[in-house]
Chains A and B, each alone.
Chain A
Amino acid sequence: MKYILMLILGTFFGIVLYKSEAASWFRIYEMFHFESFHMYGIMGSAMFLGVIGVQVIKRRKMKDLYGEVIKIQNKDKTVVRYLIGGTLFGLGWGLAGSCPGPIYVLIGSGESSMLIVLVSALLGTLLYGVLRKHLPH
């Protein structure tokens, strides 16, 4: 049941990403040139409602479907990993015009060359795992 709900939620998210055009390379290119409000509107409104939703969940100590109080882990309070890692990801986002979610979406929509991006993203993840001990965090 848990798996089926995840499958449904993922499918819904994939449809939203496709239909919002957030999975389009063109939209990301346009966003980084600051020539459209579209992407900023999507992220801004998602964050705005997200902040409200998360605050309500935390203040009311709401429970999830399985009866557990919803807890959201805080991120480690460092700077280096977020800034360097974030910038490296941003470079890939700007080039391929897609973050991980849209990679999956575009594979589904039939862009088979996205499989190359997915495989190299897996290799990149693997490479980070191997080098992690030697990197500043």
Chain B
Amino acid sequence: MNEHNFILDPWPWYVSGPLIALVMLSFLFLGKFFGMSSYLRTICAIGGAGRIADLFRFNWKAELWGIFALVGVVCGGYIGANYLSTSPAIDLNSKTVERLELAGFESPGAAYVPAEIFSIENAQTPKGLLFLSIAGLLIGFGTRYAGGCTSGHAISGLSNLQRPSLIAVIGFFIGGIIATHFILPLVL
């Protein structure tokens, strides 16, 4: 029987959104700022990047807490997928499913992420590797250039009514819409 389970089923937006706000506020109460992309900079600094750019020349030992938060997020992904979910399927809009099927995706939404992009086999093809690498480069470069990502600008920044964060979020959507509507159809 398909019994509903509030923990094991996907969490609806009206549960997830408030919990994310709670996380952001908890960071503040721990004396820290909620921003996931800043840990990338910390990792670069730990790796010795201070020798080539002053962006990484800071006392990273004072930022080690961020690495603990990062390790926690990785653990959270492991726990969420292995202990708190019965199925990795995503209940997508039927229009989205149709659109992806037309683009050649087999059973869109049956897994948490599409095998067509993230399977080990695809990641080992030159095209698949290039796709993931370019996406990663853009994420790393763009977030540091903009001084934050979805957590730092869209959640923390907008919650603090920062106009720069609004500009950044508008940028996020310009980029995302260009990627989704114009680049993905060319490369998938």
Contacts and interface: CB of A to CB of B under 8 A. Distances in A.
A43 to B, nearest CB: 6
Interface string A16-33: 111111111111111111
Interface string B57-95: 000000011101111111111111110110000101101
Contact of A125 (B25, B40, B68): B40
A69 B85 CA distance: 39
Contact of B136 (A53, A64, A124): A124
A119 B12 CA distance: 31
B139 A100 contact: yes
A105 B16 contact: no
Contacts of B81: 18, 108-110
A15 B76 contact: yes
B111 to A, nearest CB: 9
B140 A122 contact: yes
Given A15-B76, A73-B33, A109-B112, A29 B96 contact: yes
Interface of A: 2-33, 35-51, 53-54, 57, 62, 64-66, 68, 70, 72-79, 81-101, 103-114, 116-130, 132, 135
